[in-house]
Amino acid sequence: MKLTLISSALLVVGASAKLHTPSTHVDYVRRALPSDAAGYAKLDNPTKECKYYTPPEMEQMLKDRLPKAGKVADILPNDDEAKKVWKEIQDTGIIPEEVKTKPDASNGKHAEVDIKSANYDADKDPDCWWSASQCTKPKHNKIPEDIAVCPEGSTYGLTFDDGPNCSHNAFYDFLKQKKLKASLFYIGTNVATWPYQAQRGLADGHDICVHTWSHPAMTTLSDSQVFAELFYTVRVIKAVLGITTTCWRPPFGDTDDRVRAIAAGLGLRTIHWREDTDDWQMASTGSPKQVRQNYDKIVDKASNESPIVLAHELHNDTMSIFIEKESKIADAYKHVAPVSACMNVTNPYMENQIVYPNFEEYTGGNANYKGLPDMSNMKINPNVDFSALSLAKMDTGFAPGGENKKQTDTGSATFSSDSSDDGSKNAKGSKDGGSGGKDNSHKENGAIQFSSLSLWAALLSSITITFVTFQV
């Protein structure tokens, strides 16, 4: 089976270049491209997949309901709904005042946290700051433990960050052919820019989770910025896909109890990882050798652990290398499953009409997905509203208690109380020489993703297309 994927890079247009006006650009794209997710899913030409388009509903949202693409979000001045939800979270008292903002190491870009200048006591780790200690068990009340492993034996937790990628059809086709579902952590800017590609992720039955609006180091942001990065991603996902997601993953893994608390107030469970492929590095080094070795190390641990594994839907290389390694993963692990299945979360969204299989059903060949939308009928609702329900009040989704009780409760998280056990002692990250560790993804590229270019950048830039064809 021959698959072709795409990677794209921006070339800045000179000041004298003639640009299409937005309306001319949009009219041209509408004539040349499909008008729904079903049409986009059929495309096998990455050039067409990655031509820019703006559905009228997204144009409406982009005027005053979403932040600027790729820029760190804050609450929009006239967004009364966001202000109301934010006040409700503040009024609960869940946000620990003693956990302070961490220093930024990227000159205000919020692309890297400065652990050294923070003078933080990683041994005592009062903030459960993952970047300093890989802590996953919060030290403050009312915040659930992070999910980082699958409780079932010999299970590979399949996850991909930074989607939707405009050229992912070949990759998603491969997952479908192999009957694999994954947990997909979508960036809000990318959902706004590639809404039809995002819709396919849900229609195919994958877990849809939040990966922030602009991919910042979250602990370097103010409280309202942390909220906005999550809130506007939840909003655009609900507008485009029609679901209220209940899971998120912090970029670079950077989170602490302040950030977790705000996420929990929005109804979002924090999902980390135990093993890291470091596949993002191929964007800068151009060599997949080390990433292949990272995958091989994870494969070698199949008899000893059930890790949630960090990989990326970032560009051609990251998607291609998983396809290359999939057969070895499947041979080594008894099960390859999304986080919803390995945690027995059968109602991953607040909209309970969508039902996913539990672990037993997923691995036993009875993976019946109910209520998934038909791509040809999916609509974008620019006027979607959102009412926050904190994890503490939820009994569905990825909240503790949302798991299907038919399966074992081993590894199910509970809400934390003040405790000296930070949960980081057994973390298999860079500390023990494993391939896991901190996700330093995209430092070279800042907050904008390599191949998922923003709508606004498209009007000011040209695209260099590189095709890579491979056999599987």
For residue 28, is pLDDT > 70? no
Average pLDDT over residues 22-26: 44
Average pLDDT over residues 341-351: 97
Instruction: Clarify whether 278 is annotated catalytic.
Output: no
Lowest mean per-residue pLDDT among 56-70, 192-206, 389-403, 430-444: 430-444
Evaluate whether residue 330 is within a structural domain: yes
Total tally of structural domains belonging to the chain:
1
3-state secondary structure the chain: CEEEEEEEEEEECCCCCCCCCHHHHHHHHHHHCCCCHHHHHCCCCHHHHCCCCCCHHHHHHHHHCCCCCCCCCCCCCCCHHHHHHHHHHHHCCCCCCCCCCCCECCCCCCCCECCHHHCCCCCCCCCCCHHHHCCCCCCCCCCECCECECCCCCEEEEEEEEECCCCCHHHHHHHHHCCCCCEEEECHHHHHHCHHHHHHHHHCCCEEEECCCCCCCHHHCCHHHHHHHHHHHHHHHHHHHCCCECEECCHHHCCCHHHHHHHHHCCCEEECCCEECCHHHHHHHCCCHHHHHHHHHHHHCCCCCCEEEEEECCCHHHHHHHHHHHHHHHHHCCEEECHHHHCCECCCECCCCCECCCHHHHHCCCCCCECCCCHHHCCCCCCCCCCCCCHHHCCCCCCCCCECCCCCCCCCCCECCCCCCCCCCCCCCHHHCCCCCCCCCCCCCCCCCCCCCCHHHHHHEEEEEEEEEEEC
Strand partners, 251: none
Pair 240, 195: CB distance under 8 Å: yes
CB atoms within 10 A of CB 81: 15
Lowest mean per-residue pLDDT among 224-228, 265-269, 288-292, 406-410: 406-410
Which tens digit of pLDDT belongs to each residue from 73-92?
Answer: 999 999 999 999 999 999 99
Pair 161, 310: CB distance under 8 Å: yes
Q: How far apart are CA 156 and CA 138, in angstroms?
A: 25
Average pLDDT over residues 368-397: 95
Average pLDDT over residues 256-272: 99
Q: How far apart are CA 69 and CA 134, in angstroms?
A: 30
| Structure confidence at residue 410 (pLDDT) | 34
Q: Of how many residues is the chain composed? A: 472
Which tens digit of pLDDT belongs to each residue from 325-341?
Answer: 999 999 999 999 999 99
| Structure confidence at residue 404 (pLDDT) | 61
Q: Show the tokens assigned to 285.
A: 């080094």
- Among residues 217, 258, 270, 268, which one has the least CA distance to residue 238? 268
Average pLDDT over residues 2-11: 37
Evaluate whether residue 422 is within a structural domain: no
Confidence of residue 282 (pLDDT cuts 50, 70, 90): confident
| Structure confidence at residue 287 (pLDDT) | 76
Confidence of residue 324 (pLDDT cuts 50, 70, 90): very high
User: Which one of 168, 215, 272, 312 is the catalytic residue?
Assistant: 312
Evaluate whether residue 246 is within a structural domain: yes
Q: Which domain holds residue 166?
A: 56-393
Evaluate whether residue 355 is within a structural domain: yes
Instruction: Clarify whether 312 is annotated catalytic.
Output: yes
CB atoms within 10 A of CB 343: 32
For residue 19, is pLDDT > 70? no
Give the torsion through C-alpha atoms of 108, 103, 444, 297, to 10 deg: -160
- Read off the CATH number of the domain in which 285 is found: 3.20.20.370
User: Which one of 161, 162, 204, 257 is the catalytic residue?
Assistant: 161
Evaluate whether residue 108 is within a structural domain: yes
Q: How far apart are CA 127 and CA 82, in angstroms?
A: 26
| Structure confidence at residue 297 (pLDDT) | 98
Which tens digit of pLDDT belongs to each residue from 410-467?
Answer: 333 344 443 333 333 333 333 333 334 444 444 333 322 333 333 333 333 333 333 3
Higher pLDDT, 333 or 387: 333
| Structure confidence at residue 185 (pLDDT) | 99
Evaluate whether residue 234 is within a structural domain: yes
| Structure confidence at residue 387 (pLDDT) | 85
| Structure confidence at residue 284 (pLDDT) | 63
Evaluate whether residue 458 is within a structural domain: no
For residue 149, is pLDDT > 70? yes
The end-to-end CA distance of the chain, in Å, is: 5
Confidence of residue 31 (pLDDT cuts 50, 70, 90): low
For residue 129, is pLDDT > 90? yes
Average pLDDT over residues 281-297: 86
Confidence of residue 403 (pLDDT cuts 50, 70, 90): confident
Q: pLDDT over 90 for what percent of the chain?
A: 75
Evaluate whether residue 31 is within a structural domain: no
